[in-house]
Every structure is written in C-alpha cells, then in structure tokens.
Amino acid sequence: MTNQNYALKKVVDNRSQLAGPLLIFCLLISAIGCKKTEAVAPADAVLSFTVNNVYNGTLIYNALNVNPAVKFNFTEPVDRGSAQKALRLTDATGQAVNVGTRFENADKTVVVTPQNNLAAFSRYTLAIDNTLQSASGGRLVNPVSITLNTGIDSTDKFPRISDSALLDLVQQQTLKYFWDFGHPVSGLARERNTSGNVVTAGGSGFGIMAMIAGINRNFISRADGLARLQKIVGFLKNNAQTFHGAFPHWINGTTGAVVPFSARDNGADLVETSFIVQGLLTARQYFNGNNIAETTLRNDINTIWNRVEWNWFRKNNENVLYWHWSPTAAWDINLQIKGWNECLITYVLAASSPTNAIPKLVYDAGWAGNGSIRNGNRYYGLELPLGPDRGGPLFFEHYSFLGINPYGLSDQYANYQTQAVNHTKINYEYCKANPKGHYGYSASCWGLTASDIPNGYTASSPNNDVGVIAPTAALSSMPYTPAESMEALRFFYYKLGDKAWKEYGFVDAFSLKDGWFANSFLAIDQAPIVVMIENHRSQLLWNLFTSCPEVKSGMKTLGFTAPYL
C-alpha cells in the first residue's frame, strides 16, 4: 500500500472512532505494475445512519413505532439500482418484508421504510450488504445489520364497546379459567395453565368466589354453579388430604393427595387454607335455599370449616400463628404469619372459628407485632398506615379483601380503607413517575404485584421493579382506584389486546421494554380480577362473606369496627 493510501485509511479509521459505526465505500483501483487489485478507501466515501432521526450508539433499536424510518447518509451519491437490491428487511423468522426506498440530498441519503406497518413488539433486521455501490463505482466493504425492535402499536385492536360491556367481557372471559379449565375430577382450579393434575387450595378458594360472581351475572346458571360447588366441596370433604384440618398448598386434583410445594412444605398450609375457607364460606352464604341440595352443601362446607384446628397452629400455644406444618419435618420451616401482607384473612378466620378460635392476644402480638405493623410515612403525598416502604406488591390489598370489605373498616392499627386505597395509589403514582425509565409505564399502563417474569417469577413492587406489569394488579384494584384501573383496562384491552388478551382473559404479565408477553395464566392472579371487579360493581362478595355470623363475631373479637359488623 502506498503512503497516500495508508494516509487515507488512517483518516477513515479516525472518523470511525469519532462518529460510531460508519460504512465505507472503496474504489477498486488497479495498481500499476501489479497483478492484483487493491482496495483503496477514500476518506469522503463514508456512511452513517439514524433510526427515526436518532443514532443511539449501537446497532440495536428498541421500542420503535410500527413504521420506523431508517436514514442512511453518505458523503457521495449512491447508485439507486444497487441500493434497492442491497437493502433487505426481514422478520424474526427470516421472512422478507417489503420496504420502500426514497432518495434525498442528491442521492447521498437513502430513507428506508416498511411498505406496511410492522407488527408490534416484534424483532426485525435491516441489512445492507456489499453489493451497494456509489455512483462512481465504489463498493461497500463493511456491511451492516441493524436490529429493529418494535414497541406499542397505538391503534385499537378490538372495536370499542361501553365500559360496562367491557367489564362484563373481562369477567366472563377470565372466569373460563375456573369454569372451562377446572379440574375434571375435583372441579378445583389448576395452579397455572400448565399444571396438569396439580390444583391449588388458595387459587381454588378465589375461583369459587369468581364462580359466584359469574352465577350472579348469569354467565353460569345457578343449577350448574351448584353442581360444580357440590363436586368441589365433596372432593374437599371426602378426598383431599388435610393435616389438623388444614389443606396443603397443592393437591392432586384426581386423588386428593398432597403434592409437595417443596421438600419440607408437604403438609398443612394455613394461609392457603384460609383462602379456600374464605371462598367456601362465601358460597355457603350465597346458596341459601331451603332445598335439600343447597342445605347439604352448606352443611358440608360447615364440616370442612369446623375441622380446621386454627388454634393448634400456634405451635405449642405461642402468641402467633405458623404458616406450615409437615408430617415429616414438623415445624422446621418455622415461618410465622406476621403482617403486613396478604394474610389478614388468616387471623380473621382463626378468630372466627366456632371450634378452634384464637384469642385477640395472638392477633395483637403475632400479626400486628404489638404495633410494629405500622408504617405511617407518606409517599407521593399519600399516607400509608401499614406495611413496608411504598406498600409492597398490590396483592397485599387483594387476597384478604376478596371477602373482607375494607371500606369503613378500622381497628387500633389502621383505617383499612385508607390502607387499601393509598397503597394502590402509591403503586400507580410510582409507575406513572417511572423513576427507572421502563418503556411503556404510564398512567394507562401500571400495576406491580407478584407474577411471572421473563424466565422466572417475582413479587414486583416499587422496591422490586423489574419492568414487568401484571394486569391483575390494576384490575383487581378496581374498587380502590376505579378511574385509574378502568384507564388501565382500556389500554390493556384495546392497545395491547392482540398480544395480552387470550382464551382466559389477560395473560399473567408483560414487559413492554422487552416486548415480552407471558403465555401463562395463574389461578391466584386471574380470580381476583373477576372478584374485585364484582366488588367494585355490586359489593357482592364483600356482602356475602361479611354476612357470616362467625366472621362478624371474630372481627369484633379482634377489635374491628365497620358498618357491616
């Protein structure tokens, strides 16, 4: 290489360091007296690019609109014919996508756009290969491949309907998880849509409440609903394995045998038991007819309810309840049930038991930690009476309050209406503020709670924000934030619908920053959507559960006051 050629190469190398990835045209020049051809790189024959007028320093562009414009800028004109052949846009399967090319700036700029809108949340590759030539015959010697990841497509995916019709649709579609997909032998709810014969105690309790909402809205006939409840209650009473009256977390839906949740979690789960009993007592209050079938159902539910040895789970009479007991490992897990979290219902039912009730001291010293449950700080200008910094995941305000109405409810530790509403609004305000800059978070797209995430599962919250939104978080908060939750519902359905809306309602979670949508449905996430929308609309489940005489008595024992007590 001559000194002149070396100098030109050095200039180009320096420009590359300053300007990011540059594509270089080289002229093929025959060297005098040589048999070979040498590539010479003129300094003025370089290319740069932008995507939607932005260069981000990489070859990967995320969260793009569905009709992005990629602009290639050269310092000399390009040959139009070669440009149209050298440019290729493909989707994630390698299928070619038609593009249009526009030449500007005396053919020194080539603008590439797809001829039709790209699919939302999809990956595409725009490649430009070395068949591209300049008008003077230069050849592109360093091809480039740009990854284009699309984001939200703001067009409506489904026809607009009234908000009331949309709520009907969401409840009815989500209920299919428990009705159509219920286990064929036991009638109980599968843990998730891939769980086979494994059914979940807590999710089944929630599902029972969802079914009652469906019966009341005529999605299911009362006769069919009664038959399904008879199947469920008969299985729980006669087939399901229990330990001191308490159910395990997971059950084989065919045999009733415990399915270990973990090596030592192979016995009683008192919290899961409280979730299923909450649902059973709600069903008992709903099926209040004098006929033999409904009377028998109520009696069978009372048998299950009275068997639970709530007081025994104090472990040698301690002033706290314990979550687990194992027939092989006894109390080895040693997990105390202490607040604030999803377990208020466990203490309420333990205090309400006609046969094995706990005294108030266990609630005060165990659950409330003699007042250590309190928070009292303000976040986004909102006081949070109880719990961790910024409230924790939103399921804390859902699971116990499927049956317990927090409106007008107080005890010595908190006003539970303030707790539920402000915790939810703090979660909403956090997502709206979006301090981590996650793509897609907004006043229309919010809600952090426990859910599936890419390659795992986590309890999302403002203190554990991995960029994943779970529809159940905002939708199950409908009684607390009706306007904000309805705005989220419209966004999830109309804007994300073709990705997020499936056979059992909304998928468990999604990450717009990653273009990821779960293919999973979880019983404990789907049922609260149906139940809490119904509580927002009619207070049906709240009214049924809190009408239980034992619950009224138990809550009064613990020091609660409310209009319904």
Whether the pLDDT of residue 334 is over 90: the answer is yes
pLDDT at 219: 98
pLDDT over 90, % of the chain? 85
pLDDT confidence bin for 26, thresholds 50/70/90: low
Q: Which ranges constitute the DSSP H helices of 88-199?
A: 163-179
Please give the structure tokens belonging to residue 307. 């068997």
Q: What digits encode the pLDDT tens for the residues 540-555?
A: 999 999 999 999 999 9
Q: Which CATH superfamily is domain 163-557 in?
A: Glycoside hydrolase 144 (GH144) (1.50.10.140)
Q: Return the pLDDT at 83.
A: 87
- What is the predicted pLDDT for the residue at 237? 98
pTM confidence score? 0.90
DSSP-based three-state secondary structure for 453 = strand
Confidence of residue 134 (pLDDT cuts 50, 70, 90): confident
pLDDT score for 105: 93
For residue range 79-121, list pLDDT tens digits in order. 999 888 899 999 999 999 999 999 999 999 999 999 999 999 9
User: What's the pLDDT at 136?
Assistant: 85
Which residues lie below 8 Å from residue 550, measured CB to CB, with a gap of 6+? 281, 352, 353, 354
* Whether the predicted pLDDT of 11 surpasses 70: no
Q: What value does the mean pLDDT take over residues 204-229?
A: 98
Whether the CB-CB separation of 406 and 416 falls below 8 Å is answered with: yes
How far is residue 188's CA from residue 178's CA, in Å, rounded to a whole number? Answer: 8
| 374-406 pLDDT per residue, tens | 999 999 999 999 999 999 999 999 999 999 999
* pLDDT top residue among 128 and 25: 128
Instruction: Give CA–CA dist 545/558, Å, rounded.
Output: 17
Domain ranges of the chain: 3-150, 163-557
Instruction: For domain 3-150, give the fold.
Output: Immunoglobulin-like (2.60.40)
Kindly tell me if the per-residue pLDDT of 247 is higher than 90. Answer: yes
Average pLDDT, integer, range 489-514: 96
pLDDT of 38 over the 80 cut = no
Give the long-range contacts of residues 47-50, CB within 8 A, separation 24 or more. 47/22, 47/23, 47/72, 47/73, 47/74, 47/75, 47/140, 48/19, 48/20, 48/21, 48/22, 48/23, 48/72, 48/73, 49/21, 49/23, 49/73, 49/144, 49/146
Burial of residue 81 (CB within 10 Å: 0-12, 13-18, 19+) is exposed
- Tell me the pairing of strands 144-150 and 60-64: parallel
21 to each of 42, 62, 135, 142, 344, how far by Cα in Å? 17, 18, 22, 10, 58
What mean pLDDT, rounded, does the chain reach? 92
Q: Is 326 helix (H, G, I), strand (E, B) or coil?
A: strand
Cα distance between residue 166 and residue 497, in whole Å: 12
If DSSP codes are grouped into helix, strand and coil, which group holds residue 531?
helix
Contact 522, 192 (CB under 8 A): yes
